[in-house]
């Protein structure tokens, strides 16, 4: 099937969603399971917490608002951290002290796509948040993250201090919710088959093959 056009995979997710962190790794494993099928991955924005202000809030305030208290989230967090560890990822629960608004993170991913580095930008931001406990509303953190994957830091700093792509990213994230996507990650294969949740690599690999076969038969 290598002479066929690549299977398009749209991934709707947020950088502060732990299952999106895990789901990205599982998708990468799924793609590796089907080396004969070319794919083209597009990272789409989603606001898991669209009520958080641009400057972000404390993690304690967030957990209290969403779960009732930080303690109420502890068991959930430990289960998710264990799932992340199985994929070779580190969800350092105790390092996270802030809960960011993620529009600027999604803007960085959008800009990184211009140099073919959207996946790298996505991973760097997730690693910063989940593993290093970095504040993704901090301009210096975002500029350095962009520089780490090859974007020009001064260009990024100027863009972050403008409204460049704010409206576009917001519209795209809102469109996902209007389309009925209520949980992320959501993987859309070939524009015709959607899989919700951080499913196993084997399940995602089957979806890739299913769409590749369907497209080859057309």
The burial of 40, by beta-carbon neighbours within 10 Å (0-12 exposed, 13-18 middle, 19 or more buried), is given as exposed
> Residue 14's pLDDT is what?
98
> Residue 2's pLDDT is what?
53
Please report the sign of the dihedral spanned by the C-alpha atoms of residue 68, residue 72, residue 77, residue 79.
negative
Determine if the peptide bond prior to 185 is cis (ω within 30°).
Answer: yes
Side by side, the strands of the sheet bearing 193-196 are: 39-45, 7-13, 186-189, 193-196
> Residue 3's pLDDT is what?
74
> Residue 160's pLDDT is what?
98
Determine the CATH number of domain 7-50+101-216. Answer: 3.40.30.10
Residue 4 has pLDDT above 90, yes or no: no
- Average of pLDDT values for 3-10? 92
Task: State the average pLDDT for the chain.
Answer: 97
Predicted confidence (pLDDT) per residue in 41-88, tens digit: 999 999 999 999 999 999 999 999 999 999 999 999 999 999 999 999
> Residue 1's pLDDT is what?
45
- In the chain, the percentage of residues whose pLDDT exceeds 70 is 99
Residue 107 has pLDDT above 90, yes or no: yes
Q: Are 7 and 208 in contact (CB under 8 A)?
A: yes
Both structure tokens of 146: 């962009």
Greater model confidence, 2 or 67: 67
Distance from chain centroid for Cα 102: 10
Predicted confidence (pLDDT) per residue in 192-207, tens digit: 999 999 999 999 999 9
Domain regions of the chain by residue span: 7-50+101-216
202: left (phi over 0), alpha (psi -120 to 50) or beta: alpha
Global pTM exceeds 0.85? yes
């Amino acid at each position: 099937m290598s002479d066929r056009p690549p299977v398009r995979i749209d991934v709707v997710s947020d950088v502060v969603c732990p299952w999106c962190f895990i789901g990205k790794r599982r998708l990468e494993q799924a793609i590796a399971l089907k080396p004969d099928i070319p794919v083209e991955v597009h990272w789409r924005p989603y606001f898991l917490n669209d009520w958080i202000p641009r400057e972000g809030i404390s993690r304690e305030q967030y957990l209290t608002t969403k779960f009732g208290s930080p303690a109420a989230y502890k068991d959930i967090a430990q289960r998710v951290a264990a799932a992340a560890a199985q994929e070779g990822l580190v969800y350092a629960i105790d390092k996270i002290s802030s809960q960011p608004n993620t529009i600027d993170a999604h803007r960085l991913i959008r800009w990184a796509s211009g140099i073919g580095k959207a996946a790298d930008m996505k991973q760097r931001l997730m690693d910063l948040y989940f593993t290093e406990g970095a504040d993704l509303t901090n301009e210096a953190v975002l500029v350095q993250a962009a520089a780490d994957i090859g974007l020009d830091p001064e260009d990024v700093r100027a863009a972050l201090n403008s409204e460049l792509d704010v409206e576009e990213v917001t519209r795209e994230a809102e469109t996902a919710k209007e389309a009925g996507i209520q949980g992320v990650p959501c993987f859309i294969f070939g524009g015709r088959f959607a899989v919700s949740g951080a499913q196993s690599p084997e399940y995602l690999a089957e979806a890739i093959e299913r769409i590749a076969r369907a497209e080859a038969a057309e």
